[in-house]
A and B are shown apart, each in its own frame.
Chain A
Amino acid sequence: MTTLRMDSQSQHIEVHKFYSGAVIGVCFLALVLQAFLNRFSVRFQILELPLLVVVYFGLSRRNSVTGLLLGTAVGLLQDGIAHTPIGLYGIAKGFIGYISSSIGARLDTEHPISRLILMFFFFHIHQILIALVMRLLLSQHEPFFSIHLLTASLINSVLGVFLFAGLDRLRKQ
């Protein structure tokens, strides 16, 4: 694992780099799985693999611009395969990529508990953004919070802990 330390007077930032093509490959894989798994069972709709990937790379790269662009790109691709208006997930995941990379530069994101908690909150922020856009622009009543969403957030958070640990192996040493 390669760790770049940026020492300054006020902060200490570790920036992780990944093997070439790993970021793009993981993102495409997440999108494909998201679409592929939903074909077999509606229970898989509770998973939000693209969101997990965006959060992970945002927390790891700790570059808000990169996180923003990555989240936007993943979100737009998800819009393309989800038959939703182009930009719905793009806005939400772009914002999540931005704040995850910003928070990753300030908090310890390597511990599983912190990852669990962060993933839980990012999931709900993502859902709030989706509901906000759908209410304001599409005039559709999308709930901000529900038991189903709580369950989904917990499942995705737990899944994220394991997924993040697996993705850590793609980091450059």
Chain B
Amino acid sequence: MEVPSRHRPLLLLAAVIVSQILLLAFQIKRDSHVRLIRVWSVELLTPLQRGGTFVISKIEGAWFGYLDLRDARAENRKLTAELDQLRLQNQQLQSQAAQDVRLARLLGFRSENAGIPMLAAEVIGANADPNSQTVFINRGTSDGIRHNMPVITPDGVVGRIFEAYPHTSQVLLISDRESALGALLSGTRTHGVVEGTGGPLLSLDYVSKHEDIPIGATVLTSGEDRIFPKDLPVGTIVSAKPDFPFQAIRLNPAAHLNRLEEVLVLLTQKPFPLRPENEAQSSRRNSKALAGRQTAYASPAAHPVAPPAPERSLASTKPKPKTKSPIPPSAKKPRALAPPSLPKSSGAASAARAPIQQPGSQKVSPAKPQKAPAAKTSQTLPSKPQQNPQGNPHK
């Protein structure tokens, strides 16, 4: 291209000035000790590189995203299968992790109560009858499991051994209609009987309407049923409505009865050490409770069941609620003990007195717990323990 002669001086001027500017840029260094000409070069070329990269990435995206999809379907199928497999593995791992947590809690509980013989068991099945709240565990008589042994978790009471087979056992949950156990309020030491309702909540019966029942209070085992050791958590009060002559009290089970997986079978009825949160309340109320008991024990007629012996045998008696209720204690027994208004069978009443030997040392009771009809037709308190040695201690 030929430049017109009149423009040549101007062109030369531009060339000279530009060359000198470049010369200056070669000498000048900015703050970062980089020559100005290098800065200019980078700033001149970087946008071009950025633009080129952008264009190439778009072309690649269009090619691989829209045009080159020959193996996409097969790869998608393969990845989907792989994803399903990974999800399954993830679920298994999560389940295993949850199981580890539960087992760690069980182990911690056992370590805390090392002096109390107990046996860990796994829940392997439930009852097909929707009206019956029972589960099966993978321990049986060959493991030392005996009838009426208490079953717990670190959270609280679960139930008791209902049937013991050589390698499995059936556990009657405390939520079953047939179940009942002696209980007391952790704060006031008010005694009562916890019975199953067949639903998610339990019922605390035979508590006088004059008793002040705080919502949220913890209910513990009283040990008077001769099955469950004393001071095991049973549940927390969720509602208390006045009724005559007793209050209608509902409580939420402490143990997660609807998702049991591992449980502990207590091989003794030795009382558990009080937990710290219960210990303070218990000691504060202890003198008052003892005074109440001494008053109650002063009348033999009012307490046909003897006070618990220091070392009790399993299923030796039914729970004996102790309350300040105006109703005599004989009327405050669980359903197995039959309220005064209901007839009571002697078999159920005396079942608790059937001796069950401690594992390895005592005889196994041949008694089988009787279900509701027999229990609810019982008429009297177990004032005569020999009346029916094969009854259900609870019902």
Contacts and interface: CB of A to CB of B under 8 A. Distances in A.
A102 B16 CA distance: 16
Interface in B24-41: 24-25, 27-28, 30, 36
Nearest to A102: B9
Given A65-B12, A86-B23, A137-B36, A91 B17 contact: yes
Given A85-B28, A138-B28, A90 B9 contact: no
- How many of chain A's residues touch chain B, expressed as a range? 20 to 34
B16 A88 contact: no
Nearest to B23: A87
A94 interface: yes
A65 B8 contact: yes
A72 B9 contact: no
Given A85-B27, A137-B25, A137-B28, A91 B9 contact: no
A139 B25 CA distance: 12
B18 to A, nearest CB: 10
A68 B8 CA distance: 12
A72 B21 CA distance: 12
B34 to A, nearest CB: 13
A87 B24 contact: yes
B13 interface: yes
B24 A72 contact: no
A64 interface: yes
Contacts of A88: 24
10 contacts: A68-B13, A85-B24, A85-B28, A87-B24, A94-B16, A95-B13, A98-B13, A102-B9, A133-B24, A137-B36
Interface of A: 64-65, 68-69, 72, 76, 85-88, 90-91, 94-95, 98, 102, 133, 137-139
Given A76-B20, A88-B24, 20 more contacts: A65-B12, A68-B12, A68-B16, A69-B16, A85-B27, A86-B23, A86-B24, A87-B24, A90-B16, A90-B20, A94-B20, A95-B13, A95-B17, A102-B9, A133-B21, A133-B24, A137-B21, A137-B28, A137-B36, A139-B30
8 smallest CB-CB distances across A and B, nearest first, come from A87-B20, A64-B9, A87-B24, A87-B23, A85-B27, A90-B20, A91-B20, A98-B13
